[in-house]
Amino acid sequence: MRGHLVISLDYEIHWGVFDNKSVNEYRKNLENVNEVIDRLLELSDTYGIKLTFSTVGFLFAKNKTDLVNYLPTQKPTYTLNKLNPYDLIDSNGNNEYEDPFHYAYSKILKIKHNGNHEIGTHTFSHFYCHALGQTIEQFNEDINAAINIAQPLDIKISSIVFPKNQINPNDDIDKPYLKVCKKYGITSFRGKEKSFIYNIHSSKKYRNLFIFKAMKPLDAYFNITGTNTYNLKAINKNSIIFNIPSSRFLRPYNTKLKLFEGLKLRRIKKAMTYAAKHNEVYHLWWHPHNFGTNIDENFKNLETIFKTYQMLNKSHGFQSETMTSLTEKFNKTRTHD
Ligand SMILES: [Zn+2]
């Protein structure tokens, strides 16, 4: 297999940040998500890039009644109640025209009709698999609802991105959460970066040490953890579902750090080049709302990345795939082995 570029977008609007920010506190970013999606589709089409929109199930609802019809009977019983999004539903507007922060029916259809991209799931309710108080049965119902609410739009969900990347297949020998995904026909997930600095939230020992907290942002600009590209065959020897780990979170344009934007892009371009030369995968991700401020600067950066892709596509046959199209491609080569 050649090298591949995978881009996944955690499409969630307010459902991904409600536990930390109200709509008003993050309004500009959230308000511009629709424009960001339109521009993402346009720019990707220009450069032949396939995107995976890992979408929160709530966003598929046409209106509030529609959403209520899909709600699971067992909702997550988080110890920390502020993580529970179900309490928000009552006070939300009725549909995407009244409330573009919590619904995206027509935008999801637009992505679908574009035909080049994938719509996967980011769980039904932005479910936190590491949070205290939730259970595997509740997760099971959540994923079931995510699959069901996509059906009327004729969308078959086959990939997942776990909210806050709260999945660590090494945590549990039995990997029950991945087994639930498999049961519902999900064939791939976005795993975490292999470097330990991306796992520190689950390790009490390091969690509060400033130096470890600072490493993640620093790694975006300076080479701390290496290229974070992957040989898919090597990491998927015993997978329950196909793991396409993250290589990098694309940090949004930062006005205060604008002098460092070049370093950030250089780091991404170098890693992509490494992936292309060594037939590995480079998996970039972010949230559309990250692009909601400094939109032009963010898209300028993205175009630089897409141009690098185009160049590597010509020189090394580097290819862009969605999570599912890459999984299918991989399975085909595996059966030929
Ligand atoms: Zn999220």
Question: pLDDT tens-digit profile of 298-315?
Answer: 999 999 999 999 999 999
Query: How much distance in Å is there from the Cα of 176 to the middle of ligand 1?
Result: 21
Structure tokens at 325: 């199209």
Residue 179 is predicted with a pLDDT of 93
Q: What letter represents residue 151's amino acid?
A: Q
Q: Give pLDDT, residue 168.
A: 59
Quote the ligand 1 centre to 173 CA distance (angstroms).
25
Quote the ligand 1 centre to 335 CA distance (angstroms).
Answer: 34
Domain ranges for the chain: 4-336
What is the whole-number distance in angstroms between the Cα of residue 128 and the centre of ligand 1? Answer: 9
Average pLDDT over residues 186-200: 76
Pair of tokens at residue 112: 């679908």
pLDDT mean over 68-79: 97
CA of 23 to the centre of ligand 1 (A): 15
pTM of the model: 0.93
Distance (Å) from CA 329 to ligand 1 centroid:
27
Per-residue confidence (pLDDT) for residue 90, from 0 to 100: 96
Among residues 283, 5, 289, which one has the least CA distance to residue 161?
283
Q: What is each CA distance from 103 to 39, 66, 96, 99, in whole angstroms?
A: 19, 11, 5, 7
What is the whole-number distance in angstroms between the Cα of residue 56 and the centre of ligand 1? 8
Q: What is the pLDDT of residue 334?
A: 75
Using a pLDDT cut of 70, give the percent of the chain over it.
89
In the predicted structure, residue 202 carries a pLDDT above the cut 50: no
Angle at 51 between CA 249 and CA 71, to 5 degrees: 85
What mean pLDDT do residues 144-155 have?
98
Q: What would the mean pLDDT of 77-83 be, rounded to a whole number?
A: 96
Residue 259 has pLDDT above 80, yes or no: no
Under the banding of pLDDT at 50, 70 and 90, the label for residue 258 is: confident
Residue 152, pLDDT > 90, answer yes
* Ligand 1: centre distance to CA 255 (Å): 24
In the reported structure, the alpha carbon of residue 143 is separated from the centroid of ligand 1 by a whole-number distance in angstroms of 15
CA of 332 to the centre of ligand 1 (A): 31
How far, in Å, is the centroid of ligand 1 from the Cα of 12?
Answer: 6
d(CA 29, ligand 1 centre) in Å = 15
| CA of residue 236 to ligand 1 center, whole Å | 24
| Orientation of helix 33-47 relative to helix 105-114, angle to 10° | 0
Cα–ligand 1 centroid distance for 10 (angstroms): 6
Q: Is the pLDDT of residue 177 over 80?
A: yes
Instruction: Give the per-residue pLDDT at 226.
Output: 73
Q: Which CATH number fits domain 4-336: 3.30.70.60, 3.20.20.370, 2.102.10.10, 3.40.228.10?
A: 3.20.20.370
Sorting pLDDT into bands at 50, 70 and 90, what band is 256? confident
Q: Is the pLDDT of residue 20 over 50?
A: yes
Look at 1-5, 107-111, 192-196, 281-285 and tell me which has the smallest mean pLDDT. 192-196
- Kindly report the average pLDDT of the chain as a whole number: 91
Span from the CA of 164 to the centroid of ligand 1 (angstroms): 6
Please check the confidence at residue 250 and state whether its pLDDT lies above 60: yes
* Between 168 and 121, residue with greater pLDDT: 121
Question: Cα separation of 171 and 334, whole Å?
Answer: 27
Q: How far, in Å, from the CA of 293 to the mean position of ligand 1?
A: 18
For residue 269, the CA-to-ligand 1 centroid distance in Å is: 25
